[in-house]
């Protein structure tokens, strides 16, 4: 099977970021050549939503989601549930976020981050679209807030670019959530992270790049792009005793269940 015959998805990228938006056509073409046939581009500041939406409207391979990134929560007007629900009326809009908690650089804004996260959870519950979570150095608070939301009303969720500890992974999986594998998992020193993924049910794993960040080997340290999700898939497939083709098929099927609006139409029988 040639790379272009694979069926991979980049579930999280930022095609509107300056590093990528100047060559969108070429980036999408390279993704297709690598077997990456769909991608979800993420809006992290609502003022940029029209630009991100336009990418999804122009390119059939691209879908989009929108929310307030936790590191920006103190700089942006607080989003409302109504705003997020309004975005969700667009047929190319497939998820709520990214949102979450990041105490690594922005711990001073914990209260507003937590408020913003709860608003996004409510929007995911109201729309039925999956919540897209960013979590860094905030495992205990993240588990608490996600569980509080689940106790009120169930919702779907993906732990984007998962690189937290085993306790948060276990809690997320117990709530029925999905873990997303980024290029970090392909780094040589990421064995602890690979161990977490190896213990997770295979039907709860999807792939992403988080482009333009976190490029996997052999591009580590360089600009990332959706095509490189194939390198992450190739590196992780042996962890599950699968071929690249089988791992691609399984993770793509998982994506289709989690993001039904972006799912490939079922073939007629």
* Mean pLDDT of all residues in 65-90: 97
Residue pLDDT, tens place only, 171-189 = 999 999 999 999 999 999 9
Give me the pLDDT at residue 144, please: 98
Confidence of residue 264 (pLDDT cuts 50, 70, 90): confident
How many CA atoms lie less than 13 Å away from 241 in the CB half-sphere?
A: 2
The mean per-residue pLDDT over the stretch 243-267 comes to 92
All structural domains of the chain: 3-262 (3.20.20.140)
Confidence of residue 266 (pLDDT cuts 50, 70, 90): low
Percent of the chain with pLDDT over 70: 97
Pure H helices in the chain: 18-21, 24-33, 49-58, 81-87, 110-127, 139-152, 166-174, 191-199, 229-236, 244-258
Q: Are strands 93-102 and 36-43 parallel, antiparallel or unpaired?
A: unpaired
Assigned token pair, 134? 């960013």
CA distance 39 to 63: 6
Tell me, what's the pLDDT at 269?
A: 36
Cβ-proximal residues to 23 (8 Å cutoff; 6+ apart), any chain = none
pLDDT band at 62 (very low <50, low <70, confident <90, very high): very high
Residue 4 has pLDDT above 60, yes or no: no
């Amino acid at each position: 099977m040639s790379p272009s015959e694979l069926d991979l998805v980049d579930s999280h990228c930022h095609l509107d970021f300056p590093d990528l938006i100047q060559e969108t056509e070429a980036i999408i073409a390279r993704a297709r050549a690598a077997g990456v046939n769909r991608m979800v581009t993420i809006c992290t500041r609502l003022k940029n939503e029209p630009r991100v939406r336009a990418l999804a409207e122009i390119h059939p391979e691209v879908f989009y989601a929108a929310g307030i990134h936790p590191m920006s929560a103190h700089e942006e007007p607080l989003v409302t549930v109504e705003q997020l629900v309004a975005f969700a009326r667009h047929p190319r809009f497939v998820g709520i976020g990214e949102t979450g908690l990041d105490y690594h650089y922005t711990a001073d804004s914990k209260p507003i981050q937590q408020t913003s996260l709860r608003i996004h959870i409510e929007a995911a519950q109201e729309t039925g679209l999956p919540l897209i979570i960013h979590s860094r150095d905030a495992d205990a608070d993240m588990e608490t807030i996600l569980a509080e939301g689940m106790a009120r009303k169930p919702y779907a969720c993906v732990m984007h670019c998962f690189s937290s500890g085993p306790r948060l992974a276990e809690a997320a999986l117990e709530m029925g959530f999905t873990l997303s594998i980024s290029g970090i998992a392909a780094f040589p020193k990421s064995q602890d992270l690979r161990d977490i993924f190896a213990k997770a049910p295979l039907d709860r794993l999807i792939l992403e790049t988080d482009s333009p960040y976190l490029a996997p080997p052999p591009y580590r340290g360089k600009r990332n792009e959706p095509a490189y999700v194939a390198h992450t898939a190739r590196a992780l497939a042996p962890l599950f005793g699968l071929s690249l083709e089988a791992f691609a098929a399984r993770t793509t099927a998982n994506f289709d269940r989690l993001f039904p609006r972006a799912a490939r139409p079922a073939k007629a029988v």
